[in-house]
A = this chain, B = another copy of it.
């Protein structure tokens, strides 16, 4: 499911798509546990709405993102929460790219895999149609998390770029 960049000679972002599930005593710590599983827990996340720059590489990875503890990490994510006993939550990302490499992410969460995948495909269909078409097939990734004695978070996240703080 790796998408090679259509413009490999150009410098660009190395976007890594990651999934994980995590549990915790609170929704916040369940989210953090999922971030740990995805290799991005020690960054300050800044959320983006969800366009893939032209010369980016998009690939799957679960290696920890390199960077200093507390750096900013710009990223796109979907998170689903299983808050109640027995509940299962799903989250997923979908993406398409055109021939020049311009791309789009969509993020959805819900109570079933089918629901999340359906929303991803409906959204991508609309986004592509709205731009006049010309995109390749959709790629998708989904993940689930089950409430076992404690809340759980399903996380699908695309890590764009780490930026350090500006310190004198």
Contact = CB atoms under 8 A, between A and B. Distances in A.
Nearest to A161: B165
A70 B127 CA distance: 14
A123 interface: yes
Contact of A166 (B22, B42, B161): B161
Given A45-B48, A74-B44, A29 B167 contact: no
Q: Secondary structure at chain A's binding surface: helix, strand, loop or mixed?
A: mixed
Given A122-B26, A123-B25, A43 B33 contact: no
Nearest to A26: B123
Nearest to A43: B51
Copies in the complex: 3
Contact of A28 (B41, B43, B108, B167): B108
A1 interface: no
B44 A48 contact: yes
Interface residues of A, number: 55
A53 B164 CA distance: 10
A49 B44 contact: yes
Interface of A: 11-13, 22, 24-26, 28-29, 32-33, 36, 41-56, 68-72, 74, 76, 102-103, 106-108, 119, 122-123, 125-127, 130-131, 160-161, 163, 165-168
10 contacts: A12-B167, A25-B126, A28-B108, A28-B123, A36-B131, A42-B51, A46-B46, A54-B70, A69-B102, A72-B74
Sorted nearest first, the 8 A-B pairs with minimum C-beta distance are A53-B70, A29-B126, A44-B48, A25-B122, A11-B167, A45-B49, A24-B126, A51-B70
